[in-house]
Structures are given as C-alpha cells and as structure tokens.
Chain A
Amino acid sequence: DVQMTQSPYNLAASPGESVSINCKASKSISKYLAWYQQKPGKANKLLIYDGSTLQSGIPSRFSGSGSGTDFTLTIRSLEPEDFGLYYCQQHNEYPFTFGSGTKLEIK
C-alpha cells in the first residue's frame, strides 16, 4: 500500500496569513493526489484533485502543487472558515490511502 505522510500534524496561524501543508507518498503517485477539508458537523469537502486542479466552487486562495512523491497544499490569506482538519489522499492506485491529517488552528 502507498503510505501517505502528512506534515505538520498541527499548525497554528492567524487570519490573513498563508500556510502550507505537505504530503509525501511512499512511492510515486504521478499527479494523483487530492486534498480535503474536514469540519465538525459538515460533510468533508474536496478542495484539490490531480495534484493541482481546484474543485469547482473552491476559493482560489487554495492551491495545490507537486508530483511524484511530494505535494503541497497552500492556503493564502487565511479566512476564519479555513480552520479545521486537512487530509491528503492518493488516487493513483488501490487501495486509495489518506494521510494522517493536519489540524489548522487559529493562533
């Protein structure tokens, strides 16, 4: 199975700042990485797929980059609603696997 290692585990930032979350795959997954946001009481939200393609309806302050084994989710100009949990997921091969999550908190 492809192991997905996310970092950092926790991240604290203030509204208006920019942050980056990293995801490393244990083998090459080409461009096939997705990013999700998870918040209590809400359905998980797809942010990015294929490494850098912004899902429809997601604000342009979210961006994804990377290919092969190293990927980054960047959120520019943080808004209060951006705080929550973020997960990466490889969708290159079975079984699809997720990272362990990054908790983005308000500083």
Chain B
Amino acid sequence: QVQLEESGPGLMQPSETLSLTCTVSGFSLTSNGVGWVRQPLGKGLVWMGTIWAGGSTNYNSAVQSRLSISRDTSKSQVFLKMNSLQPEDTGTYYCARPRRGYFDYWGQGVMVTVSS
C-alpha cells in the first residue's frame, strides 16, 4: 500500500539549514510526484513545494528563496532543504503524494522546532 514517512532532526538552531527526508513505498517516484506541506504549531496547512514525476519542481514564493526539493528515485526518497531557519519555521512538516495539485496520501509528519 501507499506509504510516506518523514524523517529529520527535531531541533534546529536559528540560521541553520533544515534537511528532511520523505521515504515512500507502494509507488514509484518516476511516475509520481511528492509535495511538502507544513503546519505551524496550532495553525493551518501551508503548501511549500512539489517535485513532479519528471523531476521538475514548483515552490511557494513565500519560501522559494530558501527552499530546495530533490529526490533519489533509486532509494524512493525525496529531500527537503531549507536554509536560514527562523523560529517561525517551527511546526510539523508533511510529505504527501500529489494528484494534479491535491494530495491523496500523506505521511504522519515530523515536528521541527527552531530555537536557540
């Protein structure tokens, strides 16, 4: 069955670079994309960006200058890297499988805290 699982460090310092991994199973990254969505603590969902099956990417302009999404199809992994972290980047980060822009399967999320 389709599964996505996020992993990464739980605590980061301001100005550091966040690196998260989404490991997928039950589908191929060569025929499916993966998107990243974050949720600040107690707030709503915010789409960050998507890497599509062909390898192209789209980013939310709000974070585009700091964000990079890449993948290793042989390992069924998608990577998020975001630099210049600030406390307002604290929240839960989800990866999800996109279908023309909506998301049909989600991971359970990984909590990231940015604090000195």
Hey, which bits of chain A sit against chain B, CB under 8 A? 32, 34, 36, 41-46, 49, 55, 87, 89, 91-92, 94-101
Q: Could you say which residues of chain A place their CB within 8 Å of the CB of B54?
A: none
What sequence of 0s and 1s flags, for each residue 5-48 of chain B, a beta carbon within 8 Å of any chain A beta carbon? 00000000000000000000000000000000000000111110
B96: interface (CB < 8 Å): yes
By a CB distance below 8 angstroms, the chain A residues around B101 are: 32, 91-92, 96
For B102, list chain A residues within 8 Å (CB): 32, 34, 46, 49, 89, 91, 96
- Contact between A49 and B108 (Cβ–Cβ < 8 Å)? no
Interface size on B, as a range, is 20 to 34
* Most A C-beta atoms less than 10 A away, residue of B45, B62, B106: B45
Which residues 89-116 of B have a CB within 8 angstroms of A? 94, 96, 99-108
Q: Do A46 and B45 form a contact, CB below 8 Å, given A95-B60, A95-B62? A: no
B73 in the interface, Cβ–Cβ < 8 Å?
no
Interface of chain A: mostly helix, strand, loop or mixed:
loop
Q: List 16 A-B contacts (CB under 8 A).
A: A32-B102, A36-B103, A43-B105, A45-B106, A46-B103, A46-B104, A87-B44, A89-B45, A89-B103, A95-B60, A95-B61, A97-B47, A98-B47, A100-B43, A101-B44, A101-B45
Least Cβ–Cβ distance between B11 and chain A, in angstroms: 21
Q: Which residue of B45, B99, B104, B106 contacts A98 across the interface (Cβ within 8 Å)?
A: B45
The CA-CA distance from A34 to B99 in the complex, in Å, is 11
**CB neighbours of B58 from chain A (8 A):** 94
Which of A41, A44, A99 is B96 in contact with, Cβ under 8 Å?
Answer: A44
Nearest Cβ on chain A to B13's Cβ, whole angstroms: 28
Complex: A106 Cα to B94 Cα, angstroms = 27
Whether B94 pairs with A99 at a CB distance below 8 angstroms is no
Closest 7 CB pairs of A and B: A91-B101, A34-B102, A96-B47, A98-B45, A95-B60, A44-B106, A91-B102
Contacts of A36 in B (CB 8 A): 45, 103
